[in-house]
Structure 1
Amino acid sequence: MNTPREIHPVVSQVRVDDMNIKSILSGQNITINVDHAVDDDEAKLLAMGFTQEFKRDMGAFEIFAVSFSVLGLLPSIAACFDYQQLVIGMSPLPWIIAMLPITAVALSMAEISSVYPCSAGTPYAVSQLAPPKFRAYLTWFTSWSNWMCQITAAPSVSYSCASLMLALKAFADPSYSPSNAEVFGLSCGVMIVSAFMCMAPTKWAGRFGSIGTILNIMFLIIVFVMILAGNKRDEMHDGLSRFNSNSTAWGLYNQTPFPQGISFLISFMGVIWAMSGYDSPFHLSEECSNPTTAVPLGITMTSVLGGVIGFLFMIAISYTLVSIDDIAADPDGLGQPFVTYLTQIMDKKLVMAATALTAVSSFFMAQNCLLAASRVTYAYSRDGLLPLSNIWKKVSRKTQTPINAVIANCILGILFLLLGFAGDTAIGAIFSCGAIAGFVSFTTPTLLKITYARNTFVPGPWNLGKFSKPIGWLSVAFVAMMIPLLCFPWTSGKDLNVQNMNWTVLVYFGPMVVSSIWFFVDARKWYVGPRSNINPDDIIYGQQLETGEEIPDILDGEKISISSTEKK
Structure 2
Amino acid sequence: MDDIIENDDKRLETLGIHRELQKEFTNFSTTSFAFGIMGCAATIASTFNNPILLGGPTTAVWAWLLGSVGCLCIAASVSELVSAYPTSGGIYTSTAFVVPGRYRASVTFIAAWVTFVGQLATPSSVAFALAQMIFAAVTIGTDGAFVASKGQLLGLYVGINVALGLLNSLPTKVLHRVSKYYVWVNMLTTLVVIIAIPAAGRGNLASSKSVWASVDDRSGWSNNGFSLLLGLLCVQWVMTDYDAAAHISEEVKNAAVAAPVAIFTAAAVTAVLGFFVNISLCYGIRDLSALPGPTGLVFSQILWDNLGRSGGLVVWSFVIIVQTMVGATCQLAAVRTIYAVSRDNALPDRKILSKIWRTTGTPVNAVIFLIIIQTLFGLLYLASFVAVNAIFSITAVALDVSYMIPVAAKLWIYFNPESDVKFEPGPFYMGRWGYLVNLYAVTWTLFETGILVMPQVLPVTANTMNYTGPIVFGVCGLSWIWYKLYWHRFYQVPGGQRLTDIYSESAPSQDEKVETESRDMKEKSSIA
Asked if 1:219 is matched to 2:182, the reply is: no
Cα 1:334–1:112, aligned 2, differ >3 Å: closer, same or farther?
same
Q: What does 1:291-440 correspond to in 2, within 5 Å?
A: 291-328=255-292, 330=293, 333-440=294-401
Asked if 1:247 is matched to 2:209, the reply is: yes
Q: CA offsets, 1:397-456, max 9 Å, x none?
A: 222111111111111111111111122211010000010101011111110101135533
Segments of structure 2 that go 5 or more residues without pairing to the other structure are 506-528
Question: Residue 10 of structure 2 aligns with which residue?
Answer: 43
Q: Which of these two proteins has the greater Rg computed from alpha carbons? A: 1
Q: Distance in 2 between matches of 1:490 and 1:41?
A: 45
Asked if 1:508 is matched to 2:472, the reply is: yes
Residue of structure 2 aligned with 1:444, choices 395, 405, 408: 405
Question: Residue 275 of structure 1 aligns with which residue?
Answer: 239
Q: CA offsets, 1:334-365, max 9 Å, x none?
A: 22222222233221111222222211211111
Give, in angstroms, the shift of residue 526 of structure 1.
Answer: 3.0
Q: Report the 3-state secondary structure (helix = DSSP H, G, I; strand = E; otherwise coil) of the residue aligned with 1:49.
A: coil
Question: Residue 13 of structure 1 aligns with which residue?
Answer: none
Residue of structure 1 aligned with 2:120, choices 141, 144, 151: 151
Asked if 1:160 is matched to 2:129, the reply is: yes
Question: Residue 185 of structure 1 aligns with which residue?
Answer: 155
Give, in angstroms, the shift of residue 389 of structure 1.
Answer: 4.0
Q: Distance in 2 between matches of 1:117 and 1:69?
A: 20
Q: CA offsets, 1:158-206, max 9 Å, x none?
A: 1111111111212323332211111111011111110111011111111
Q: Report the 3-state secondary structure (helix = DSSP H, G, I; strand = E; otherwise coil) of the residue aligned with 2:432.
A: helix
Residue of structure 2 aligned with 1:61, choices 16, 28, 46: 28
Q: Report the 3-state secondary structure (helix = DSSP H, G, I; strand = E; otherwise coil) of the residue aligned with 1:243.
A: coil
Cα 1:222–1:533, aligned 2, differ >3 Å: closer, same or farther?
farther
The amino acid of 1:149's aligned partner reads G
Give, in angstroms, the shift of residue 532 of structure 1.
Answer: 4.7
The amino acid of 2:128's aligned partner reads Y
The amino acid of 1:255's aligned partner reads R
More helix by share: 2
8 Å CA contact 1:111, 1:463 repeated in 2: yes
Cα 1:531–1:381, aligned 2, differ >3 Å: closer, same or farther?
farther
Q: Report the 3-state secondary structure (helix = DSSP H, G, I; strand = E; otherwise coil) of the residue aligned with 2:359.
A: coil
Segment drifting more, 52-61 vs 81-90: 81-90
Q: CA offsets, 1:246-273, max 9 Å, x none?
A: 3222122222222222222221111111
Segment drifting more, 110-119 vs 397-406: 397-406
Q: CA offsets, 1:20-76, max 9 Å, x none?
A: xxxxxxxxxxxxxxxx99721111111111112111111111111112111111111
Give, in angstroms, the shift of residue 276 of structure 1.
Answer: 1.9
Q: Report the 3-state secondary structure (helix = DSSP H, G, I; strand = E; otherwise coil) of the residue aligned with 2:291.
A: helix
Cα 1:533–1:172, aligned 2, differ >3 Å: closer, same or farther?
farther
Question: Residue 101 of structure 2 aligns with which residue?
Answer: 132
Segment drifting more, 456-465 vs 157-166: 456-465
Q: Distance in 2 between matches of 1:365 and 1:288?
A: 19
Cα 1:248–1:38, aligned 2, differ >3 Å: closer, same or farther?
closer
Q: Report the 3-state secondary structure (helix = DSSP H, G, I; strand = E; otherwise coil) of the residue aligned with 1:488.
A: coil
Segments of structure 1 that go 5 or more residues without pairing to the other structure are 1-35, 233-240, 535-540, 546-568
8 Å CA contact 1:370, 1:410 repeated in 2: no
8 Å CA contact 1:71, 1:275 repeated in 2: yes
Q: Distance in 1 between matches of 2:247 and 2:475?
A: 22
8 Å CA contact 2:123, 2:331 repeated in 1: yes
The amino acid of 2:56's aligned partner reads G
Q: Report the 3-state secondary structure (helix = DSSP H, G, I; strand = E; otherwise coil) of the residue aligned with 1:432.
A: helix
Residue of structure 1 aligned with 2:487, choices 523, 541, 545: 523
Question: Residue 168 of structure 2 aligns with which residue?
Answer: 198
Q: Distance in 2 between matches of 1:498 and 1:442?
A: 30
Residue of structure 1 aligned with 2:436, choices 464, 470, 492: 470
The amino acid of 2:209's aligned partner reads S
Question: Residue 509 of structure 2 aligns with which residue?
Answer: none
Give, in angstroms, the shift of residue 211 of structure 1.
Answer: 2.2
Q: Distance in 2 between matches of 1:446 and 1:272?
A: 18
Question: Residue 516 of structure 2 aligns with which residue?
Answer: none
Give, in angstroms, the shift of residue 324 of structure 1.
Answer: 2.1
The amino acid of 2:163's aligned partner reads V
Q: Distance in 2 between matches of 1:172 and 1:374?
A: 35
Asked if 1:486 is matched to 2:455, the reply is: no
Segment drifting more, 178-187 vs 340-349: 340-349
Question: Residue 26 of structure 1 aligns with which residue?
Answer: none
**RMSD over aligned Cα atoms:** 2.3
Percent identity reads: 26
Asked if 1:114 is matched to 2:79, the reply is: no
Q: Report the 3-state secondary structure (helix = DSSP H, G, I; strand = E; otherwise coil) of the residue aligned with 2:360.
A: coil
Give, in angstroms, the shift of residue 500 of structure 1.
Answer: 1.4
Q: Distance in 1 between matches of 2:195 and 2:55?
A: 25
Residue of structure 2 aligned with 1:99, choices 55, 61, 68: 68
Asked if 1:175 is matched to 2:142, the reply is: no
Give, in angstroms, the shift of residue 533 of structure 1.
Answer: 10
8 Å CA contact 1:383, 1:531 repeated in 2: no
8 Å CA contact 2:193, 2:280 repeated in 1: no
Q: Distance in 2 between matches of 1:419 and 1:506?
A: 16
Q: Report the 3-state secondary structure (helix = DSSP H, G, I; strand = E; otherwise coil) of the residue aligned with 1:114.
A: helix
Normalization by structure 1: what TM-score? Answer: 0.82
Q: Distance in 2 between matches of 1:38 and 1:533?
A: 23
Q: Report the 3-state secondary structure (helix = DSSP H, G, I; strand = E; otherwise coil) of the residue aligned with 2:84.
A: coil
Q: Distance in 1 between matches of 2:41 and 2:260?
A: 23
Cα 1:207–1:228, aligned 2, differ >3 Å: closer, same or farther?
farther
Q: Distance in 2 between matches of 1:46 and 1:499?
A: 50
Number of aligned positions between the proteins? 491
8 Å CA contact 1:199, 1:406 repeated in 2: yes
Cα 1:37–1:61, aligned 2, differ >3 Å: closer, same or farther?
closer
Cα 1:338–1:177, aligned 2, differ >3 Å: closer, same or farther?
same
Q: Report the 3-state secondary structure (helix = DSSP H, G, I; strand = E; otherwise coil) of the residue aligned with 1:452.
A: helix
